[in-house]
Amino acid sequence: MSQNQALLSIENVETYYGNIRALSGVTVHANPGEIVTLIGANGAGKSTLMMTIFGMPRARTGRIVFDGTDITQLPTHEIARLRIAQSPEGRRIFPRMTVQENLQMGASLDNLKFFDEDSRMVFDLFPRLKERINQRGGTLSGGEQQMLAIGRALMARPRLLLLDEPSLGLAPLIIKHIFEAIKELNKNTGLTVFLVEQNAFGALKLADRGYVMVNGIVTMSGSSADLLANPEVRAAYLEGGRH
Amino acid sequence: MVSEVQKNTSAILRVERLSMKFGGLIAINDLNFEAKRGAITALIGPNGAGKTTVFNCITGFYKPTEGMLTLTRQNGEEYLLERMADHVITKRAKVARTFQNIRLFSGLTVLENLLVAQHNPLMLSSGFTVLGLLGFPTYKKAAAEAIEKARYWLEKINLVSRADDPAGDLPYGAQRRLEIARAMCTGPELLCLDEPAAGLNARESAELNKLLLDIRADTGTSILLIEHDMSVVMEISDHVVVLEYGTKISDGTPETVKNDPKVIAAYLGVEDEEVVELIEKAEEAGVDDITAAVDLLSSEALHEIVETHPDAQPVELIPANTLLETAPAKAAATRKVSAKTAAPKPASPKAAAPKPESPKTAPKPESPKTTAPKPASPAKAAGIKAGATANALAEPRGGKADKLILIKGIGPVNERKLNEHGIFHFDQIAAWKKADIIAAEAYLAFDGRIAREDWIGQAKTLAKESQAKPAPKKTGGAK
Amino acid sequence: MADVQNTERDSVFAKALKEGIISGAIALGLFCLIVGFRTEQNIRNELILTQRWGLLAIFVLVAAVGRFLVTYTAPMRAERKKLHKVAEAREPSAFRKSFPKIGLGLLFLYPALVVLILSAYQGSMMGGLQASLKYVDNFGIQILIYVMLAWGLNIVVGLAGLLDLGYVAFYAVGAYSYALLSAHFGLSFWLLLPMAGIFAATWGIILGFPVLRLRGDYLAIVTLAFGEIIRLVLINWTAVTKGTFGISGIAKATLFGIPFTPGPTGFAAMFGLPNSGVYYKIFLYYLILCLALLTAWVTIRLRRMPVGRAWEALREDEIACRSLGINTTTTKLTAFATGAMFGGFAGSFFAARQGFVSPESFVFLESAIILAMVVLGGMGSLVGIAIAAAVMIGGTELLRELEFLKLIFGPDFTPELYRMLLFGLAMIVVMVWKPRGFAGSREPSAFLHERKMISGEFTKEGHG
C-alpha cells in the first residue's frame, strides 16, 4: 500500500451540498515533501475538496487520513491543530484586525513563540504587508488580502499547506514570487503543499504531481510533465491564450 | 456603430489630477488619463497600486480628495462624476461597474438579478409603483420588455437555461459573466470591470475576451477594466494605463506598455524562458491528435454530468468543444479590432494581426486531421451538415458572414448552429420558405419561435440595412 | 462484515452511554439546588427547607436517557435521512401547493363553521351564536391582528432586511390616532382608517431618516429605542393621552354607517335579527380578515414591482444596489413607510375593537412577539408567517382552555403561568428543527421557464 506512507490520503470521498453531490468518489493523496496540484474548470469541486479536508462540509462517505490519523470526523479546529493550514477561497482574513494581528492569529498554535522569525519570512515574501503592518485587514486591497491569507497560513508552521487559488487577483510578478517561495519552502523545509489553481500552467510547472477534476470526479492523474504533455489537459485547461 | 466610433474619437472619460487620501495614506496621487469612446482601456499595476480606488472614485463610492472626473455621454452631455452620488452616476451618467469579489444578489434568481438592474426605467413605467400596483398596462408591457432584454443578455452569456436558478448556485465563471450582463442591463455607456478574469481558467478568459469584444461591437459601450491576466489585457485592450503606488508609470498601447522597462520591473517581471520551453516541448509531444482527445474528454465529461448534475450547464461540460468553437470566433473578433484600430498601432502583432495559428494565442483546430465541427472557420468547412435549408451556402460570400445575432432571438449558440448549416447572411434567412423554416427549426430545436419572433421580417430589414451601409447598427442591446 | 457492524454498534452504544452519563451529571449539578431544595414559609413566617429528591431524579433521568437515545439513534437517523433525501421529490406535494387556497377558504368560513358546530352542540341557534363569541373574538380576531402585524413587519424585516425592534410604535400611532381623532372630532372609522395608516407611514419615514446609515445591531437598538420613546410619550403626555389611564369609550366601527347598537337603527333591528353582541364580533372578524388580505395582496403585488425587487436586492447586497443606480435612501424609506402603514391600519382596528387604548398594549414584548412570528415563519414567506402567528397566538390562547391539566398536575396548576416557558421552548424547537423558519424557501418574483423555489441557504437575512 503506497498510501500508508502518504501524508494525506483522501479515499473515495463523497460530499454533498444539501441534495447535490459535489464530490463523487474522489481518491487523492499527497506524499510527504511533495507539491501536488488539482486543476479543473470552475465549479468542478476543487475548493469543495479543500474544504472537505477541513470538515466543512463533512464527507458523507469515504475516509480522509492525515499522517496515519483518520480526520474524517474530527472537529475542524482539531484538524487545524494537526498543522494543516489553509489559505482558503475568498481569503477570509479578519477584516477588523490589523495585518499584524491577522498574522498573530495564524501563529496562535505556537503561542507566538516563533512569531518574529516567521513574520520576517512572510514580510520577505510580501514586502507590501510590512508597509501595511498596522492597517486593518479589511482596508487592504484585494491582492494584499490574498497575500495576507497566504501569510497567515504560513505562520502556522504547517506540515501540510492547502492553497486555494493563491494567484487570484495578484499581479504577475507577485505570482511568480509566490510560486518561487512555495518551491523554496518545499525544498528547504520539506513542506507538503496541496495546490488548487486556475493558472494550470503555473501550477503544473510548480508541482510534482497533478490531478484533473471534472464535475466532482478525478478523471486523470500523473506527474506534472505527463499532464502538461497530455493533449486532453492541454486542450481543456492550458490553451486559450494564457502564457 | 463602427463608423460612429471612428468619427467620435473624443474621450468618454477624462481623469484629471485625481488624488485620494485615506488619513495619511495616499492611495492615488495626481493621476491623469483618458478613456476613449468605444475603446477598451485597461488599468493595470501591482497590488495595492490604487486601481480599485480609481474605480471607486469614478463610480462615486469614494469622493476623491482632489481632482476632476469628466464623463461625456454620446449625446454630448458632460457630467462631473466627483460631484455626483453613486446611484446617480449609474442612472444619469450611464456608468456601470462590476466588483472584484462578485456582488450578485445570490438569493434572487439569475433573471431577477437582471431585472433589478433595470430598476430605474421600470420604476418610471410603473408610475413609481402606483400605476403598477393598480395593474396599468404600461407597466405590464415594460415588464415584458425588461424580461426580453434580460433574455437577450442571458443568451449572450450562455445562461438562458439557468435563468430561474438562484444566482448563488452558479459556478464561479458563470457568476462573473452574470455580473457583467447585469451591469449591461443598466444600459451603460462606460462599463467598468474590476478583475473580470480573476479566477477564470485559460478557456474561460478566452470566452470573456470574446464577450467583451461582442459587447463593444454590439452596443458601442466603452470599457474600462482592471486586470492582472495579461492574456486579457494584451489581446483586447486598445490602451493600457499602468499604476504604481497611486501614480501613473506608463500609458500607451499594449505593445509599448509591455516593453516598457518600468512596467516590467514593477509589474510584469522578466519573461520566464523555462515556461516557454515547456510549452514548446509539450506541443511537440502532444499536438498530433487533439481531436481524438477532445472527443474522449467531452463524452466522458458528459456522461458523468448526466449522472451527477442533471441541471449543469453545457458550457461547463464540454470544455474542449467550446474551446474549438471560440478560437476561430476569437480570431474573427480580433480581425475586427484590427480593422478598427489598425492605423494607430501597426506594430502590435498579437492584438492586431489575425493570426489564429499563433501557438500562444489560440489552439490549433486547423490541424488537417480534425473532424470536429468548425463552423465559424468558413474556408475549411468541408460540407454542409445534413438537414440544411435549400439556400445554404458552402461558405459566406466574400469570406465574411453577417452578424446573425443582430436578429432578436438568435444568440451566439444559434448563430453557430446556423453557420454550421450554411446560413451566413441576412438575405438567406429573409428568403426562407415554409419548408426551410421547418428544416431550420428541426436543427435549432425550436418550435414556432422563428415565426413568433419574426426572424424573416427582421432579416429582411437587416439585409436592406446591410446593403445600405456595410456595418449595421445594433439596436436591441443599446436601448 | 457482521463483526464489523457489531463492533460499530458496540462503540456507538458505549459512546451513547458515556454521553448520557455526562448529561445526567450536568443536569444533577444544574438542578440540584434549583429543584432539589425548596424553601417555604410556614404560618409563623419561618423558612422551611423541603427536599425534593424524587423530582430531581426525574429531571436527571430525563436528561440522561434523552441524551443517550439521541446519540444512540444518531447513526440510524443519519442513514434514514440519507435514503430519504435521495428519494425525496423536489416538487412540493399537491396539498402544500394548494394550502394557501384551502386556508383562505377556511378563514372565510370560520365564523359560520363555529356557529354551526356550537349550535348543534348547544341545541339552539342563539346559544350557538353566544358561545361562538369567544372563538371568533379570542381566536379569530386576535390571531388575524397579529397575522396582519407580522405581514406588515415582514415588508421591513423579511423583504428589505432591515431589523426593526420597535414595530409596535406604529401600531400605537395607528391606535391613538383613531382614538384621539374620533374622540375629539367625531370622525368615522372609515375615514380614520386610512388616516391612521398615513400617520403611521409618516412616523415610519421620520424613524427611517436617522437610521438610514445604521446597520445590524445598531439599527436594532435605535428602532427599539424609538418604540420605547413613543410609549413613554404616550404615558407622560397626560394632557392629550390621559397617560396610563388610557382612552376609553372609543367609537365603534360601523358597517358603512349602520351602527352595531341595540337601538332601532342598529344592525340587528335593520335586518330583523334578535339583539346580540355577536354580530359586531363577526363583522370585526371579516373586517380584519379583509385588512390582512389587503396587506398580503399589496405585498405580493409589490414583490413583482421594481420597488419590491429593489427591497429584496437591498437585503442581498446594498452596495451592488447602488452600483445599479438604485437610490437606496428612498428604497429603505419606502420599506419603512409601507410596513408602518399596515401597522397603523392594524392599530386603528385594534382601537375600534377594544374601545379602549392604553400604553400597556404597546410594550416591547409585543414587538418581540411580532418579530418572532416573522422569523419563525420564514423571512419573506406570507404563508409561513401566518402559520407562525396562528401557532403562537392560538397556542397561548389555547393554554387558557386547558383546564383538564389540573387533573394531572393537581388543582394548584395554572397553565397560563407556563405560557412564556412553553412559548420559549416552542421557539427553540422550531429553530432547531427548521433553522430557516416554517417556509424556508423563497418564491421568485419573475421567471423565464418555470417558477422554482429558492432554497433558504442562498438568501441573505440582510445586515440591517
Q: Which domain holds residue A19?
A: 2-83+158-238
* CA nearest neighbour of C150 among C292, C284, C327, C331: C292
Cα distances from A198 to residues A192, A212, B176, B273, B423, in angstroms, run: 20, 11, 15, 21, 37
Q: What is the CA radius of gyration of chain B?
A: 23
Taking an 8 Å cut-off on Cβ atoms, the answer to whether C442 and B115 are in contact is: no
* Residue closest to C324 by CA, chosen among B97, B104, B103: B97
User: What are B92-145's pLDDT values in tens digits?
Assistant: 888 999 998 889 998 888 999 999 999 888 888 777 777 777 777 778 888 888
**pLDDT at position B368, please?**
43
Q: Which of B170-174, C214-218, C285-289 has the lowest mean pLDDT?
A: C214-218
| Spatial separation of the C-alpha atoms in residues B209 and C72, rounded to whole Å | 57
Give A176's contacts in chain B (Cβ within 8 Å). 269, 272
Distance to chain B for A26, nearest Cα, Å: 13
Which residue in the block uniquely carries the three cell numbers 403562537?
C392
Q: Is C82 on the interface with A (CB under 8 A)?
A: yes
Highest mean predicted confidence (pLDDT) among B303-312, B384-393, C270-279: C270-279
Look at residue A151 and tell me whether its pLDDT is greater than 50: yes
Residue A225 reports pLDDT greater than 80: yes
Q: Which of A229, A237, A242 sits opposite B286 (nearest CB)?
A: A229
ipTM value: 0.77
**Same domain, yes or no: A101 and A140:** yes
- Name the more confident of A22 and B298: A22
β-strand pairing of C47-51 with A192-196: unpaired
A183 and A194 belong to one structural domain: yes
Domain boundary among A110, A130, A156: A156
User: Which of B234, B268, B302 lies at the terminal end of a domain, its last residue?
Assistant: B268
Q: Which helix (H) or strand (E) holds B18?
A: strand B11-22
B238 with B40: CB under 8 angstroms?
yes
Q: Which residue of B has its CA nearest to A24?
A: B308
| pLDDT reported for residue B317 | 36
Whether residue A136 sits in one domain with residue A47: no
Same domain, A164 and A142: no
* pLDDT (0 to 100) of residue B318: 36
Shortest alpha-carbon distance between residue C310 and chain A (Å): 26
Question: Over the stretch C58-91, which tens digit does the pLDDT of each residue have?
Answer: 889 999 999 988 888 877 877 776 665 554 445 5
Asked if residue B332 is part of any domain, the answer here is no
- CA C229 – CA A214 distance, rounded (Å): 60
Q: Determine the pLDDT at residue B321.
A: 41
* Predicted pLDDT at C348: 92
At A65, the pLDDT band (50, 70, 90 cuts) reads very high
Q: Is the pLDDT of residue B381 over 60?
A: no
Residue B305 inside a domain? The answer is: no
Of B253, B268, B283, the position where a domain reaches its end is B268
- Nearest 5 degrees, angle CA B122-CA B124-CA B125? 65
Residue B257 in any domain: the answer is yes
Is the Cβ–Cβ distance between B362 and B331 less than 8 Å?
yes
Least confident of A23-27, B312-316, B448-452: B312-316
**B263 and B386 co-located in one domain:** no
Q: How confident is the model at residue A228 (pLDDT cuts 50, 70, 90)?
A: confident
**pLDDT band at B413, cuts 50/70/90?**
low
Return the higher-pLDDT residue of B21 and B409.
B21
Calpha distance B328→B363 (Å, rounded): 9
Say whether both A34 and A52 belong to one domain: yes
Name the residue with cell 409585543. C366
Q: What is the pLDDT of residue B150?
A: 92
Q: Which residues of C touch A72 (CB under 8 A)?
A: none
Number of Cβ within 10 Å of residue B327's Cβ equals: 26
DSSP, collapsed to helix, strand or coil, labels residue B22 as strand
Q: Which residues of A touch C91 (CB under 8 A)?
A: none
Q: What is the CA angle A102-B63-B68, rounded to 5?
A: 130
Residue of B nearest to C454 (CA): B166
Contacts of B129-134 with CB under 8 Å at 24 or more apart are: B129/C302, B129/C305, B129/C306, B129/C307, B129/C334, B132/C301, B132/C305, B132/C306, B133/C298, B133/C301, B133/C302, B133/C305
Indicate the residue among B225, B241, B268 that finishes a domain: B268
CA distance linking residue C432 with residue C442, whole number of Å: 20
User: Bigger pLDDT: A94 or C270?
Assistant: A94
Domain end call among A125, A141, A156: A156
Is residue A209 in a domain?
yes
Grid cell at residue C55: 423530582
Closest residue, chain B, to C322 (C-alpha) = B87
What are the φ and ψ backbone dihedral angles of C211, each rounded to 5 degrees?
-100, 5
Residue C113 is which amino acid? L
User: How many structural domains is chain B composed of?
Assistant: 2
Q: Tell whether C86 is within 8 A of chain A (Cβ).
A: yes
Say how far apart CA B71 and CA B53 lie, in whole Å.
17
Which residue out of C314, C323, C442 would a mutagenesis test of the B interface target, given it has the greatest number of B Cβ atoms within 10 Å? C323
Do both A172 and A65 map to the same domain?
yes
Contact C85 A19 (CB under 8 A): yes
Name chain A's partners: 3 or more CB pairs within 8 A.
B, C
Judge contact between B225 and B256, C-beta under 8 A: no
Domain membership of residue B303 (yes or no) is no
Q: State the alpha helices, DSSP H only, in C46-134.
A: 53-87, 94-122, 125-134
Does A207 lie in the same domain as A136? no
Say yes or no to pLDDT of C9 above 50.
Answer: yes
Q: Is B131 on the interface with C (CB under 8 A)?
A: no
Query: How far from C109 is each of B471, C268, C308, CA to CA, in Å?
Result: 67, 21, 32
Mean pLDDT over the full length of chain C: 82
Question: Which CATH number goes with the domain that contains B32?
Answer: 3.40.50.300
Task: For residue A8, list its beta bridge partners.
Answer: A30, A66
Residues of C in contact with A60 (CB under 8 A): 82
Q: How many domains does chain A have?
A: 2
**169-208 in chain B: CB under 8 A from chain C:** 169, 182-183, 186
Q: Which pLDDT score, from 0 to 100, does residue B359 have?
A: 42
Q: What is the pLDDT of residue A100?
A: 92
Which strands sit side by side in the sheet containing A35-40, from one edge to the other?
A: A84-87, A160-164, A192-196, A35-40, A209-214, A217-223
Same domain, A150 and A163: no
pLDDT confidence of residue A147:
87
Name chain B's partners: 3 or more CB pairs within 8 A. Answer: A, C
A12 or B261: which leads in pLDDT: A12
Residue B79 forms part of a structural domain = yes
**Is B25 inside any structural domain?**
yes
Q: Which domain range does residue B129 map to?
A: 2-268
Which of A171, A174, A228 is closest, CB to CB, to B278? A228
Q: Which of A223-237, C7-21, C348-362 has the largest mean confidence? A: C348-362
- The reply to whether A60 touches chain C by the CB within 8 Å rule is yes
> What cell does B16 get?
484629471
Q: Which of C327-341, C367-381, C389-403 has the highest mean pLDDT?
A: C327-341
C445 part of contact set with chain B, CB < 8 Å:
yes
What are residue C357's DSSP bridge partners?
A: C247
Q: Do C86 and A18 touch (CB under 8 A)?
A: no
* Neighbour-count burial of B357, counting CB atoms closer than 10 A to its CB (0-12 exposed, 13-18 middle, 19+ buried): exposed
Identity of the residue numbered B272: D
Give dist(CA B28, CA B56) in Å, integer: 11
Residues of C in contact with B123 (CB under 8 A): 306-307
Q: Is A96 on the interface with C (CB under 8 A)?
A: no
Structural domains of chain C, with CATH: 2-87 (no CATH), 103-401 (1.10.3470)
Indicate the pLDDT class of residue A4, thresholds 50, 70 and 90.
low
Q: Does A52 fall in a domain?
A: yes
d(C-alpha C200, C-alpha C343), whole Å:
7
Q: Which residues of A touch B230 (CB under 8 A)?
A: 172
Among A44-53, B207-216, B380-389, the least confident range: B380-389
Out of B203, B267, B300, name the one closest to residue A219 (CB).
Answer: B300
Same domain flag for A218 and A185 = yes
Q: Is residue B284 a part of any domain in this protein?
A: no
Residue C112 has pLDDT above 80, yes or no: no
Q: How confident is the model at residue B396 (pLDDT cuts 50, 70, 90)?
A: confident
Mean pLDDT of B304-316: 40
Judgement on whether residues A102 and A127 belong to the same structural domain of the protein: yes
Q: How far is CA B327 from CA A240, B323, C122, in A?
A: 7, 6, 84
pLDDT: which is higher, C96 or C201: C201
Residue B287: per-residue pLDDT = 40
Q: Is residue A243 part of a domain?
A: no
Mark yes or no for CB contact C319/B99 under 8 Å. yes
DSSP annotation of C274: -
User: A23: nearest CA in chain B?
Assistant: B308
pLDDT digits (tens, 9 = 90+) for B323-336: 344 444 444 444 44
pLDDT interval class at C117 (50, 70, 90): confident
**What residues of B are in contact with residue C300 (Cβ under 8 Å)?**
none
Residue B420 located in a structural domain: yes
Query: How far apart (Å, rounded) are the C-alpha atoms in residues C387 and A8?
Result: 50
CB C139 within 8 A of CB C394: yes
**How many Å apart are CA B153 and CA B164, to the nearest integer?**
14
Pair A14, A58 in one domain: yes
pLDDT exceeds cutoff 60 at B216: yes
Helix (H) or strand (E) holding C451: none
pLDDT digits (tens, 9 = 90+) for C407-431: 666 667 777 777 778 778 878 888 8
Top residue of A19, A72, A96 to mutate, by most chain C CBs within 10 Å, is A19
pTM of model > 0.80:
no
Highest mean pLDDT among B294-298, B474-478, C241-245: C241-245
Q: Are residues A172 and A230 in the same domain?
A: yes
Amino acid C167: pLDDT: 92
In a shared domain, residues B402 and B263: no
- Residue-level pLDDT at B7: 42
Residue A161 predicted with pLDDT over 50:
yes
Residue where one domain finishes, among candidates A108, A130, A156: A156
Q: What is the mean pLDDT of residues A218-237?
A: 85
Percent of chain A scoring above 90 in pLDDT: 23
Q: Give the pLDDT confidence score for residue B409 in this predicted structure.
A: 64
Confidence of residue B171 (pLDDT cuts 50, 70, 90): confident
Closest residue in chain B to residue A214, using alpha carbons only: B301
Spell out which residues of chain C touch residue A62, defining contact as CB-CB under 8 Å.
none
Closest CA to C396 of C208, C153, C142: C142
- Residue B474 is predicted with a pLDDT of 40
Average pLDDT, chain B: 71
Between B430 and C291, the higher pLDDT residue: C291
Q: Is the pLDDT of residue B393 over 80?
A: no
Enumerate residues 291 to 350 of chain C having a beta carbon within 8 A of any beta carbon in chain A.
Answer: none
Q: What is the pLDDT of residue C22?
A: 92
Residue A50 falls within a domain, yes or no?
Answer: yes
Rounded average pLDDT over B393-402: 73
CA B18 to chain C, closest CA, distance in angstroms equals 21
**Cis ω before C444 (30° cut-off from 0):** no
